[in-house]
Amino acid sequence: MTDVPLALTMGDPAGIGPEITAGAWRALRDGPVRFAVLGDAALIARHDVPVREIGTIAQAAETFAHAVPVLPVDLAAPVRPGQPDSGNAHAITTSIARAVELSRNGQATGVVTCPISKIVLKKAGFPYPGHTEYLAALCNVPGREVMMLACPELRVVPITIHVSLRRALDELDAAAIITATRTTHAALQRDFGIMTPRIAIAGLNPHAGEDGSMGTEEQTIIAPAIAALRADGMDITGPWPPDTMFTPAARARYDVAMCMYHDQALIPLKTIDMTQGVNTTLGLPIIRTSPDHGTAFDIAGRGLADPSSLVAALRMAMQMAEHRNRS
């Protein structure tokens, strides 16, 4: 394992970020995965863990076994758990931007992000649909980002992401499928050590259109994309009927499922394993993961938050770094 720590962003300070950060430190403090938090030390200390402010991320290595290392990010408004304040939007985005900078210049192994609220940021003028798009902009690769959700039993990639279902249908085309699949294929090789990825392409319509009787997108959009990807030499199957491709027997036949829209991908992943689910952004020059859940304002500050997904995200980021360093 590398001695270079991960950079963990604070997320929305009124959410469960501080609590799951404390829980993740408890779970990882005796192991090889280390991180430094870009956030507010006092918020994390509320959750009965020792906290130490540091001046540089390099100090995290010597601090981590004894306390949560924190690179301070100033908050503009008082924090009340469960009551988000857009006055802290700048601090939230600053935490992300600084984490990306640390990762891009090699001072951090990668970026792990605690959950943000898109609504809170949007009220403050945040122009991006979500974390994924903001990270791509910070890395100067807008449009190349691909969101993959992973748990021990399943990996999924939605082709269209944070748009309405009606708009997703308008945006779906062969080029989008081809681009996302090529990015995913390369990432599975470089960051996950899968040299010959098996990729399943989902259909869009019930029963994958059933030869056009329930929709023609499989014939006009998805099949041409599959043909182009197979011409690249990839192991591609599909289009699979979406209602049967997530059974245990079906999942054993592929390494990742390319899905046509957000919920087609996220519903099976979260149903199979919400606690170990991890969101990772492919197509960036840096490693980025996050827990596969939101800010959970309804339970913030009540001692109920489960840090398992954040722990899994931190471990996955370090594992990705190991694979990337070997390639």
pLDDT digits (tens, 9 = 90+) for 101-112: 999 999 999 999
Partner residues linked to 71 by β-bridges = 38
- At residue 325, the pLDDT reads 85
As beta bridge partners, residue 155 has: 150
Per the annotation, does 132 bind a ligand?
yes
Q: Do domains 1-143+288-303+310-322 and 153-272 have the same CATH topology?
A: yes
Q: What is the pLDDT of residues 115-128, one digit of tens each?
A: 999 999 999 999 99
Q: What is the DSSP letter of 54?
A: -
34, two tokens: 């280390």
pLDDT classification of 42: cutoffs 50, 70, 90: very high
The candidate with the shortest Cα–Cα distance to 111, out of 261, 229, 288, is 288
Q: What is the pLDDT of residues 286-295, one digit of tens each?
A: 999 999 899 9
Give the E-state strand segments of the chain in sequence order.
Answer: 6-9, 35-39, 51-53, 68-72, 111-112, 146-151, 154-158, 198-202, 235-240, 256-259, 278-282, 288-291
Contact 38, 62 (CB under 8 A): no
pLDDT per residue over 162-197, tens digit each?
889 999 999 999 999 999 999 999 999 999 999 999
Share of the chain above pLDDT 70, in %: 99
Which amino acid, residue 205?
Answer: N
118 is in an annotated binding site: no
Question: Average pLDDT, whole number, for the chain?
Answer: 95
- Going by C-alpha positions, the residue among 264, 154, 267 that lies closest to residue 217 is 264
Q: Is the pLDDT of residue 285 over 50?
A: yes
**185 annotated to a ligand binding site:** no
pLDDT score at 327 = 67
For domain 1-143+288-303+310-322, say whether CATH 3.20.10.10 is its number: no
220 in a labelled binding site: no
Average pLDDT estimate for 260-269: 96
pLDDT of residue 2 exceeding 70: no
Average pLDDT over residues 24-32: 95
Give me the pLDDT at residue 1, please. 47
Q: Is the pLDDT of residue 257 over 60?
A: yes
Q: What is the pLDDT of residue 274?
A: 85
Which pTM value belongs to this model?
A: 0.93
324 annotated as ligand-binding: no
Token pair, residue 279, equals 């969101």
For residue 227, the surrounding DSSP H or E stretch is helix 223-231
Spell out the domain ranges in the chain: 1-143+288-303+310-322, 153-272
- Annotate 205-238 with b (16+ C-beta within 10 A) or e (fewer): beebbeeeeebebbeebbbebbebbeeeebebeb
Known binding residue 131? Answer is yes
In whole angstroms, give the CA distance from residue 249 to residue 242: 14
Task: Please determine, for residue 313, whether its predicted confidence score (pLDDT) is greater than 70.
Answer: yes
CATH number of 153-272: 3.40.718.10
